[in-house]
Structure 1
Amino acid sequence: MELTLDFIKKKIQPEQLFMLSVLLVNGGNYLYNLVLGRVLGPEKFADAAILITFLLVLSFVAMTFQLVTAKFSVIFEKSVFKAFISNTFRNALITGIILGLAIIFFATNLQSFFKTTSSSMFIVFGMGVPFYFLMSVNRGVFQGRKELKSLSVTYQTEMISRLCITFLILAFLQVLDTSLVIAIGIFCSFIFGLFPFKNKQFLQLKSIALPTIEKKLVKNFFLITAFYELTQIVINNSDILLVKHYFDANEAGLYASLALIGRVVYFIAWMFVMLLLPSVIQLKKEGKSTLPILVKYLGYIAFIAITIVLGCYLFPETIIKLLFGKEYLQIAPLLWKYALATGIFAISNIFAYYYLSLDKYVPVVLSGLFGMLQILLILFFHVSLTQVVHVQILAMVLLLVVQLGYFFYKDSNR
């Protein structure tokens, strides 16, 4: 046994261990969603999907703080870093409180707009938002310093706690509304996801002055990252929210299951983005070429995307039966098409994060424009779920074309 552990420590790099951890976490989150889909059925799963989508939206908003923290954890040192991270924790907590209170205040309106069975699920969710923002800054420090073991643990504790708590309550407290149970599970997972929390010394409400030049750097990067994460929210979640608004509960539940299966490529691509950003920043800091690491990760994502799209094209009914059951079979013809749209977006996303790491923001603006295009297309073309998927493919193909155009233009001018 000891020989095996020694072999793992010597042969497997921290980055590889982190990727394995991310696969485990994504697998657990996938299992969570799949079991909910099977247990609840399409109509009730539509409500669950709204909360899960809210969780994804929250993760993108909080990711702004995580990416900013990760970047400047690499760049700043000593007293400047201490001032930066203290201010970041403070600002994240204030932002989380404001957003959480807004969700609680508009809980009834959210229930009405999304046609959910309860408003209490939004109230419980809103209570957990501040904890999620603290968790994201904590993860940003681990990410920037490449403390990948601690970073992995935070994701694992969040996933495992949500999985266990939700299904324990569903099993033993069946009198509770299922959407409320899911909200409670999510809330508790935010608390568990804070561990390990090694940065308590920076968690203080008193503001510490950051030097003017560094403050400007942080502000500029924060604003552009916030804008980009907003585009991620739009592209990743607007379709589910609009489908829940325009279609009945059964069709919305079917579409939610389609999105969950089709987005697997995006969730896998995410782990490469987590490694890409600090690596590119470090290479730039050392004056080394960053192009090889971009090409490497693009190759990984393209291979994964092609494999998943082919699998969805060749075996759609088998995949849906295995994952969700026969109740969801009518969306089988759309599976490979949705996976195609997501795969194209995942590849485009690598370009955007790469240039974001290099402080070049044109790809970020392009993502924003095509995110708005996607919303407009769905607003005007939503006769059927098929049409909703087709317009997304169109928007993502156009986005990839312009991202590639920008890349070749920049590369030719090197």
Structure 2
Amino acid sequence: MMSTRPRLPSWLTGSGVIAIGMGVMNLGTYGFTLLAARLLGPKEYGALAALMGLMLVTAVVQLGLQATAARRVSTHPHRLEETEAEVVRASWKAAWALVGITVVTSPLVVLLLEPGGPLGGYAAALLLAASCLPLTLMGAQAGLLQGERRWYSLATVYAAVGLGRVLLGLGGMVWREDVTGAMVGVTLGNVVPTLIGWVALRRRVPAPSAAPEHESPEPATGVLTEVAHNSHALLAFFALTNTDVILARILFDKHDSGLYAGGLILAKAVLFLPQFVVVIAFPNMNDPAVRRRMEISALGVVLAMGLVATAGAGMLRSLAVVFVGGPEYADLEPAIWAFAAIGTLWAMEQLMVYSTVARQSRRSVGVIWLGLVALVVLAQPAHTVAHLLEVVAAVHVVVLGVLVVLSQTAHRRHRPTAVDPGADAPAPPAP
């Protein structure tokens, strides 16, 4: 019986397909943002942007499910059907729980956001809750496809996220030029990749009948417990990489805080640029036999891409400023390259966070939270954009260095001993 899995000549082929899919996703999301800003106007768009920020927070559960599913499938490919059933059941439970939480807290959402712009009553807040269902289910589907290394199907899901967002989001805003119409389009757009993921998973891929040679033991925790840990790790990373803009708002005047926020557009672009590398590398990080080599290779690719982006921002400063906002941000020109460098550090940290998830390391997550505390404390004397950039860079360099050291230490602990190279005993758990 022939496998339905597409034949991939190398991991670079897979990375190319994923890069295209994620590129379409990011372009679609960016296109929707531009259209919404133009069609809705500042007041309505301000409310929509706030709701989309809250959706990003709820998406931590989606990413936690994706990481859990990918890790379990890649670690135990011979248990594919069992793992899929466990993950799907957990995704429905997590999705409905998240919907319930967002429905219950919808009055708080309206209370907090209504002063900043019209929310159309509770409709937009309830649509945010409805979006949690397809988004969370899609996270599980994407993780299963990622763990099975079905790159073409996964790339299609990613592309559908962007296309669904921009096309159906535009349709919603044409129907009603307010935040409610936009959220109707966004919610329907979130259903599209979920349906594609469901169809893709119906096409079974035969799993190996025996356990792989280097298989590590499955943790005794349930799927939902692991999802909670993985979501916690990703939440720590999101908190660390988004606190500086809040600090800038507190420490600076409106002009300088706006400049800093504009520079972060470039930093986020550099963060997302090598995201496909993380998607491709993560399944291999779950195999102790190749984890160290894959981690070093992936870090090298991410660093190289970041250095090119940083050098480009330094040499083409005027063009980089146009990218982040135009002539109003011209004061950023001397420091614009530094934002690209910050984005490079974030991208490498993101890779190490997924390495932490692969090893199920609790200690490494604590390092990220400590980095957040250090950032808040050390940034207090900062009164210029350049000073805050120095603090942010220093904190992220230290956090990245500690994560790499902890990971390398874990690799050495898992390395087979020379005394008994054929030993079957499982390696001790990672820190």
Fold shared, TM-score > 0.5 on shorter chain: yes
Give the letter aligned to residue 73 of structure 1.
V
Alpha-carbon distance change, 367 to 293 in structure 1, aligned in 2, over 3 angstroms: same
What do the CA deviations read for 1:9-49 (whole angstroms, capped 9, x no partner)?
Answer: 87873343222322332233344445666788988866554
- Within a 5 Å distance, the mapping from 1:336-355 to structure 2 comes to 336-355=337-356
What do the CA deviations read for 1:126-180 (whole angstroms, capped 9, x no partner)?
Answer: 331222111111211111112222211111111012112334555x46x733x54
Asked if the contact 2:171/2:185 (under 8 Å) is kept, the reply is no
SS in 2 for 1:106: helix
Asked if the contact 1:153/1:195 (under 8 Å) is kept, the reply is no
SS in 2 for 1:194: helix
The answer to whether residue 401 in structure 2 is matched with residue 396 in structure 1 is: no
**Aligned match of 1:4:** none
Q: Which one is further off, 335-344 or 37-46?
A: 37-46
Question: Deviation at 1:333?
Answer: 4.2
What do the CA deviations read for 1:91-121 (whole angstroms, capped 9, x no partner)?
Answer: 2222321332145231223316xx6213344
SS in 1 for 2:149: coil
**Aligned match of 2:357:** 356
**Aligned match of 2:297:** 296
The answer to whether residue 153 in structure 2 is matched with residue 150 in structure 1 is: yes
Asked if the contact 2:284/2:290 (under 8 Å) is kept, the reply is no
Asked if the contact 1:18/1:152 (under 8 Å) is kept, the reply is yes
2:237 corresponds to which of 208, 232, 237: 232
Output the CA distance in 2 between the equivalents of 1:336 and 1:40. 33
Asked if the contact 2:35/2:170 (under 8 Å) is kept, the reply is no
Question: Deviation at 1:353?
Answer: 1.7
Question: Deviation at 1:242?
Answer: 5.7
Output the CA distance in 2 between the equivalents of 1:102 and 1:234. 24
The answer to whether residue 56 in structure 2 is matched with residue 56 in structure 1 is: yes
2:93 corresponds to which of 91, 94, 97: 91
Question: Deviation at 1:381?
Answer: 5.3
**Aligned match of 1:72:** 72
Output the CA distance in 2 between the equivalents of 1:200 and 1:48. 35
Q: Which runs of 5+ in 2 are unaligned?
A: 1-6, 204-217, 416-431
Give the letter aligned to residue 162 of structure 2.
M
**Aligned match of 1:3:** none
1:132 corresponds to which of 132, 135, 140: 135
Aligned residues: 386
SS in 2 for 1:152: helix
Superposed CA RMSD in Å reads: 3.6
Give the letter aligned to residue 117 of structure 1.
G
The answer to whether residue 83 in structure 2 is matched with residue 81 in structure 1 is: yes
2:163 corresponds to which of 113, 135, 160: 160
The answer to whether residue 368 in structure 2 is matched with residue 367 in structure 1 is: yes
Alpha-carbon distance change, 293 to 25 in structure 1, aligned in 2, over 3 angstroms: same
Q: Percent identity?
A: 16
Give the letter aligned to residue 109 of structure 1.
L
SS in 1 for 2:194: coil
SS in 2 for 1:146: coil
**Aligned match of 1:316:** 317
Output the CA distance in 2 between the equivalents of 1:383 and 1:188. 44
Asked if the contact 1:70/1:140 (under 8 Å) is kept, the reply is yes
Asked if the contact 1:96/1:132 (under 8 Å) is kept, the reply is no
Question: Deviation at 1:73?
Answer: 2.5
Alpha-carbon distance change, 216 to 324 in structure 1, aligned in 2, over 3 angstroms: same
**Aligned match of 2:13:** 13
Give the letter aligned to residue 136 of structure 1.
G
Output the CA distance in 2 between the equivalents of 1:215 and 1:17. 35
SS in 1 for 2:195: coil
Give the letter aligned to residue 56 of structure 1.
L
TM-score of the superposed pair, with normalisation by structure 1: 0.78
Question: Deviation at 1:384?
Answer: 5.4
TM-score of the superposed pair, with normalisation by structure 2: 0.76
Output the CA distance in 1 between the equivalents of 2:252 and 2:106. 25
Give the letter aligned to residue 360 of structure 2.
D
What do the CA deviations read for 1:58-93 (whole angstroms, capped 9, x no partner)?
Answer: 333321111111222232616632541343123222
Asked if the contact 1:61/1:230 (under 8 Å) is kept, the reply is no
The answer to whether residue 222 in structure 2 is matched with residue 221 in structure 1 is: no
Output the CA distance in 1 between the equivalents of 2:41 and 2:259. 9
Output the CA distance in 1 between the equivalents of 2:271 and 2:222. 30
More helix by share: 1
Give the letter aligned to residue 237 of structure 2.
Q
Alpha-carbon distance change, 64 to 250 in structure 1, aligned in 2, over 3 angstroms: same
Alpha-carbon distance change, 107 to 69 in structure 1, aligned in 2, over 3 angstroms: same
What do the CA deviations read for 1:289-312 (whole angstroms, capped 9, x no partner)?
Answer: 322211111111001111112222
Asked if the contact 2:271/2:344 (under 8 Å) is kept, the reply is yes
Alpha-carbon distance change, 305 to 49 in structure 1, aligned in 2, over 3 angstroms: farther
